[in-house]
Amino acid sequence: MTDKLIIVESPAKANTIKKFLGGKTKVVASMGHIRDLPKSKLAVDTENDFEPQYINIRGKASLIKSLKKDAANAKKVYLATDPDREGEAIAWHLAHILDIDTNSICRVTFNEITKNAVQQAVANPRKIDMNLTDAQQARRILDRIVGYKISPVLWKKVKRGLSAGRVQSVAVKLIVEREEEIEKFIPEEYWNIYVILQNSKAKKKFEAKFYGKNGKKVELHSEAEVKKILADIENKNYIVKDIKKSEKKRTPAPPFTTSTMQQEASRKLNFSLKKTMSVAQGLYEGVKVLDKGSVGLITYMRTDSTRISEEARKAAKEHIEKVFGSNYYENRYYKTKGDSQDAHEAIRPTYVELDPERVKQDLSNEQYKLYKLIYNRFIASQMAQAIFDVVSVDTEVNSYNFKSSGQTIKFDGFMKLYVETLDNEKEEDYTKIPELAVGEELTGEKPDTKQSFTEPPPRYTEASLVKALEEKGIGRPSTYSPTITTILERRYIEKLQKQLHPTELGKIVNKLLVENFPDVINAEFTAKMEQEFDDVADGKEQWKKVIREFYGPFSKVVEKVDKELEHVKLEPEVTDIPCEKCGRMMVVKYGRFGKFLACPGYPECKNTKAIVQEIDVPCPKCGAKVQIRKTKRGKNYFICENNPKSCDYISWNKPKVGEEYVEEPKKKAAKTTAKKTTAKKKRVSTKKK
């Protein structure tokens, strides 16, 4: 019989903590959730105060049997699932299955998988926190009700298999609204004038930009305005009117939260949210490091806190002073937002001595990149400010004003290690302005002019959408990645060159939901519900009361919408392409892999065809049109319209004008085929024996 049985969520986590616990201790994994609501029905008894009807997850019978056997052979069972609401709920479900009293001291949590943290957690177990469990139940059940009550409306009016969700539908709404802003945007013309100035002493050049006239800012909207100014300043000298020198300081960004990690990994590493969370999970649960065995390299990766422990702060100080010098260290605290769940620290390395280069050989390329990002961000957060010398110069020519600005780094501080990337960030101006004096005459080269047009707001990227969701209070650290992954998989949106575009299907679904469920599919309602879940977690609110207050008005709206839409038929988009079989004009339909053309005469005529996208570059091999098609996984490829009849051109890469055709190598495919053939031969020969 074992003294202790510790149940965690994953085998990787189990392997990492085994070595920290001596004696007769066994560590096993539950492989995530063990019980859940069944997919086949609502499974929430709305007539019996929303009692959930949980079942054991299909396919886990043998695992449950094994866990029960291990629990029966242990003197004490500890539930050490992840330290968040989801982990607390999994522990509660495990207690139910293993007949453990939820009021008993059976729950163990740790924010980092280190020897000290694990041993302290096991030495100080607690009861299952029912407030955290109920907060998870409230979210799960409310989302189940919204999804299972609204989705059938989409099935009736658009097509079967579609889904609506409290958070995912709001995310789609944000993307659709941004697309509408872009479509409605009317660009406005504006001009800039630039001139290269030079002082007579040092003969050093620098750039100045037109500002205005007589000290007042003037915006230029036409070429005529620009030409008048150019005529007025032709062959005139520029006079230095004012020089301002100042010092600017830049503070490092705080250590990562889930949101900022996802944003920065997207911008710097081009990682999707899903990949970022998957790689981070592996770094948290444990990686085999030479001479150390399996080691958890980072703290728990689902957090919205920027707090760090005093031990971590001390370790960072020692590292910075040793590597960079004491002048690079600054003891720094960061404020956590008022609505954040401050149960965990920020995301940081667990062992500062394990710098990225030291463990590089033990990590995959993706693990190394993300670990380096997390490590450097944390160390930089405890480093001194960067200091810049800033110079601003105002010059005047015939009553017109030009401005110049430049900066030089006086002390690099944290920037020696890490600089945060921001969306639509302007490049830092490191122009050096020569020594000048007020009243000094400068000569100017022939001015350059630039015509520009105002641009619409940018489309969301995964990073900027996460930022928007966080700012609006929609979702929590654990929900950003699955939300965006879901709407991509449902094909409500698509990702093109990192930008998120709504599909036609997404626009139709959004229109139907927003028009009929405006009180549910909106950011304010979603943020309000998140706050109520937080109140449940804090013990300020009862979870069934939250669901009760929501369900009454919601069920009436669903009933009303269902009746109103009963006789409404959404007409499909009619094209100008005739059906080759019956002559009717084909319509746009939506299938598993996107849009396609179908004959409206179904079922008499079942003709369908793909919607063909063409590019404006001819086939490099035969000169015909090149079409864009998608694989089943949604990846674009380029193919000649004559393929396979008279031309076999096909490529992953978009052809360029004038490009010479080169046969793409097929060695890899041939090798794979060869392996398959060999494997097949082996199987055949085994059977003969």
pLDDT tens for 108-117 read 999 999 999 9
**448-457 pLDDT, tens per residue?**
999 999 999 9
| pLDDT at position 593 | 59
How many other CB atoms sit within 10 Å of the CB of residue 192? Answer: 14
**387-434 pLDDT, tens per residue?**
999 999 999 999 999 999 999 899 999 999 998 877 655 555 566 888
DSSP assigned state of 414? G
With 90 as the cut, is the pLDDT of residue 335 above it?
A: no
| pLDDT at position 70 | 94
Helix (H/G/I), strand (E/B), else coil: 545 = helix
| pLDDT at position 79 | 96
- For residues 565 and 25, the model is more confident at 25
Write the CB contacts of 168 (distance below 8 Å, at least 6 apart in sequence).
Answer: 483, 486, 487, 490, 492
Residue type, 317: K
| pLDDT at position 687 | 39
CA Rg value for the chain: 31
Helix (H/G/I), strand (E/B), else coil: 231 = helix
With 90 as the cut, is the pLDDT of residue 191 above it?
A: yes
Q: DSSP for 262-296? A: HHHHHHHH---HHHHHHHHHHHHH-EEETTTEEE-
State mean pLDDT over 546-559: 92
With 70 as the cut, is the pLDDT of residue 194 above it?
A: yes
| pLDDT at position 565 | 76
- What are the catalytic residues? 300
Average pLDDT value for the chain: 88
Per-residue confidence band for 529, with pLDDT thresholds at 50, 70 and 90: very high
DSSP assigned state of 163? -
Nearest by Cα to 321 from 375, 382, 381 = 382
CA distances from 147 to 45, 170, 337, 348, 515 (A): 15, 13, 30, 36, 17
State mean pLDDT over 125-135: 96
With 70 as the cut, is the pLDDT of residue 77 above it?
A: yes
Per-residue confidence band for 567, with pLDDT thresholds at 50, 70 and 90: low
| pLDDT at position 681 | 39
With 70 as the cut, is the pLDDT of residue 674 above it?
A: no
Per-residue confidence band for 672, with pLDDT thresholds at 50, 70 and 90: very low
| pLDDT at position 300 | 94
DSSP assigned state of 252? P
**658-671 pLDDT, tens per residue?**
666 666 555 444 34
- 129-143, 163-177, 437-451, 644-658: least confident range: 644-658
Q: Give yes or no for a contact between 230 and 261, defined as CB atoms under 8 angstroms apart.
A: no
Q: How far is CA 572 from the centre of its chain?
A: 33
| pLDDT at position 615 | 86
Helix (H/G/I), strand (E/B), else coil: 237 = coil
pTM of the predicted protein model: 0.81
Write the CB contacts of 590 (distance below 8 Å, at least 6 apart in sequence).
Answer: 158, 159, 504, 505, 596
With 70 as the cut, is the pLDDT of residue 182 above it?
A: yes
Nearest by Cα to 380 from 416, 334, 344, 354 = 416
State mean pLDDT over 98-103: 93
Q: Give yes or no for a contact between 2 and 72, defined as CB atoms under 8 angstroms apart.
A: no
Per-residue confidence band for 570, with pLDDT thresholds at 50, 70 and 90: low
With 90 as the cut, is the pLDDT of residue 637 above it?
A: no
First to last CA, the chain: 45
